[in-house]
C-alpha cells in the first residue's frame, strides 16, 4: 500500500531513481526510530556509504520540483478529508549555528524567549478529524536575501526575495486557491504576534476569502472585541467585521482576540473554526516527535523544501494508515543499489 501511495504522490518526479529514493525517504521517516537524519534513514536501507550519498543527494541537492508533489498531496487530502478550513500556522525549527538557509534569532511566543532557528509557514487542510499539511513557505530575512554570497551558498533561486510574513502567508493561500478542486473554505490563522496582522486581514478580505484570524488585541479592527457569547460587529470602511475573544485555560493559554468577516455566522460555527488551529498544531507536534520535522541537517533552500514535502507526505500516509488500522511500515525498505 505504501508503494501505491508513493507512486501516486511522487509520480511527477521525472527520473526513476528520484521516485525510488523518495519512497526510501518516506519509508525511513515512517519506520526509523529516533532522530531522522539522512544518515540514519540511509542506514535502514544499507550500511554502504553510497546509500547515504545517494539519499543526501536526492533530498538536499537534486533539482526536483516540490510544487507538483504538493499539489498531489492537496488532491489526496481533499479526497480523504472534507476540509472545513484552510489553516495557516508558523513553525519554528530550532538550529545551531547560522549556516542553514533562513536561520535567524526571533522571539518565540510559545517559548517566551528568543530562539535561533528557521521559521516555516504551513498551510493545512483541516477537517473534522485532523489537519493535513499541503504547502510550506520558508521565511527569509533580508540578511539572507540581500547577501549574494549567502544566497549562492544555500542556493536561493534568483526570483526569491524577502517577503513580509503576511505576504508569504497570503501567497500560500493564493497558490491553494489556484489549484484546489473544491470550493474555498474559511481561512483560519493566528496572526496575534505578527506586526503585519492588519495587512494580512485586509489581504484576505480583498481576495474575497472568508476568514477567522487571531489578531493582537490592540489592532484597530479589534477595538470592539468582547468575550463570547456577546460578539460585536465593527464596521471598518466597506467591510463588516465581527470581533470576539476566546478564553484561554487558566494558567495554560492566553485569551485570544479573533476577527472574522462572517458577521452572521453562528457562534458555535466560529468557535469550531478557531479549534482547527489546534488540529494543525497537533499535526506539527506529531511530525516533530515521530516524523523528523526538525531533524533535517541540510542547509540549502531546495533541501528544506524537499524535506518538508517528504515529511508532509509521511504524515498524510500515517493518517491513512491509522484510519485503515494498518502499520506505518508494511514492508521492508527497498534495498539500496
* pLDDT, tens digit (0-9, with 9 covering 90-100), for 147-176: 999 999 999 999 999 999 999 999 999 999
pLDDT of residue 128: 86
Q: How much of the chain exceeds pLDDT 90, in percent?
A: 72
Average per-residue pLDDT for the chain:
88
* pLDDT, tens digit (0-9, with 9 covering 90-100), for 98-134: 899 999 998 777 677 888 999 999 999 999 889 999 9
Tell me the mean pLDDT in the region 221-245.
57
pLDDT of residue 225: 43
Query: At CB < 8 A and 24+ separation, what contacts does 324-328 make?
Result: 326/1, 328/30, 328/31
Which three-class secondary structure string do you get for the chain? CHHHHHHHHCCCCCCHHHHHHHHHHHHHHHHCCCCCCHHHHHHCCCCCHHHHHHHHHHHHHCCCCHHHHHHHHHHHHHHHCCCCEEEEEEEEEECCCCCCCCCEEEEECCCCEEEEEEEEEEEEEECCCCEEEEEEEECCCHHHHCCHHHHHHHCCCCCCCCCCHHHHHHHHHHHHHHHCCCCCCCEEEECCCCCCHHHHHHHHHHCCCCEEEEECCCCHHHCCCEECCCCEEEEECCEEEEEEEECCCCCCCCCEEEEECCCCCCHHHHHHHHHHHHHHHHHHHHHHHHCCCCCCCCCCHHHHHHHHHHHHHHHHHHHHHHHCCCCCCCCCCCCCC
Tell me the mean pLDDT in the region 202-210.
96
pLDDT of residue 320: 82
Residue 259, pLDDT > 90, answer yes
- Residue 145 CB-half CA count within 13 A: 13
pTM for this model (two decimals): 0.90
Q: Are 198 and 221 in contact (CB under 8 A)?
A: yes
pLDDT of residue 229: 45
Residue 84, pLDDT > 50, answer yes
∠ at Cα 46 (41, 52), nearest 5°?
Answer: 55
pLDDT of residue 260: 95
Domain map (residue ranges) of the chain:
2-186+262-323
Residue 325, pLDDT > 60, answer no
pLDDT of residue 233: 44
pLDDT of residue 238: 53
The least confident of 59-68, 87-96, 221-230 is 221-230
Q: Kindly give the pairing relationship between strand 256-260 and strand 113-126.
A: unpaired
pLDDT of residue 234: 45
Amino acid at each position: 500500500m505504501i508503494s501505491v501511495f508513493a507512486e501516486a504522490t511522487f509520480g511527477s518526479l521525472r527520473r526513476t531513481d528520484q521516485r525510488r529514493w523518495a519512497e526510501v525517504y518516506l519509508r525511513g521517516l515512517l519506520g526509523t526510530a529516533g532522530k531522522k537524519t539522512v544518515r540514519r534513514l540511509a542506514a535502514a536501507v544499507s550500511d554502504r556509504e553510497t546509500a547515504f550519498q545517494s539519499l543526501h543527494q536526492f533530498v538536499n541537492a537534486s533539482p526536483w520540483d516540490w510544487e507538483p508533489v504538493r499539489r498531489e498531496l492537496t488532491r489526496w487530502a481533499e479526497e480523504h478529508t472534507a476540509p472545513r478550513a484552510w489553516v495557516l500556522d508558523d513553525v519554528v525549527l530550532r538550529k545551531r549555528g547560522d549556516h542553514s538557509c533562513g536561520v535567524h534569532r526571533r522571539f518565540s511566543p510559545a517559548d517566551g524567549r528568543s530562539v535561533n532557528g528557521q521559521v516555516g509557514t504551513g498551510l493545512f487542510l483541516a477537517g473534522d478529524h485532523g489537519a493535513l499539511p499541503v504547502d510550506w513557505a520558508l521565511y527569509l530575512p533580508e540578511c539572507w536575501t540581500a547577501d549574494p554570497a549567502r544566497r549562492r551558498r544555500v542556493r536561493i533561486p534568483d526570483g526569491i526575495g524577502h517577503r513580509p510574513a503576511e505576504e508569504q502567508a497570503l501567497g500560500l493561500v493564493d497558490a491553494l486557491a489556484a489549484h484546489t478542486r473544491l470550493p474555498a473554505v474559511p481561512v483560519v490563522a493566528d496572526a496575534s504576534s505578527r506586526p503585519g496582522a492588519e495587512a494580512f486581514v485586509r489581504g484576505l478580505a480583498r481576495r474575497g476569502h472568508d476568514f477567522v484570524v487571531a489578531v493582537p488585541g490592540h489592532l484597530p479592527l479589534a477595538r470592539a472585541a468582547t468575550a463570547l457569547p456577546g460578539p460585536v460587529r465593527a464596521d471598518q470602511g466597506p467591510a463588516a467585521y465581527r470581533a470576539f475573544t476566546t478564553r484561554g485555560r487558566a494558567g495554560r493559554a492566553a485569551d485570544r482576540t479573533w476577527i472574522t468577516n462572517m458577521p452572521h455566522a453562528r457562534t458555535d460555527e466560529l468557535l469550531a473554526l478557531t479549534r482547527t488551529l489546534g488540529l494543525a498544531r497537533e499535526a506539527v507536534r506529531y511530525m516533530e516527535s515521530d516524523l523528523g520535522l526538525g531533524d533535517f541537517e541540510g542547509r540549502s533552500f531546495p533541501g528544506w523544501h524537499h524535506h518538508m514535502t517528504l515529511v508532509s507526505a509521511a504524515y498524510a500516509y500515517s493518517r491513512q494508515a491509522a484510519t485503515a488500522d494498518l502499520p506505518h511500515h508494511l514492508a521492508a525498505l527497498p534495498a539500496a543499489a
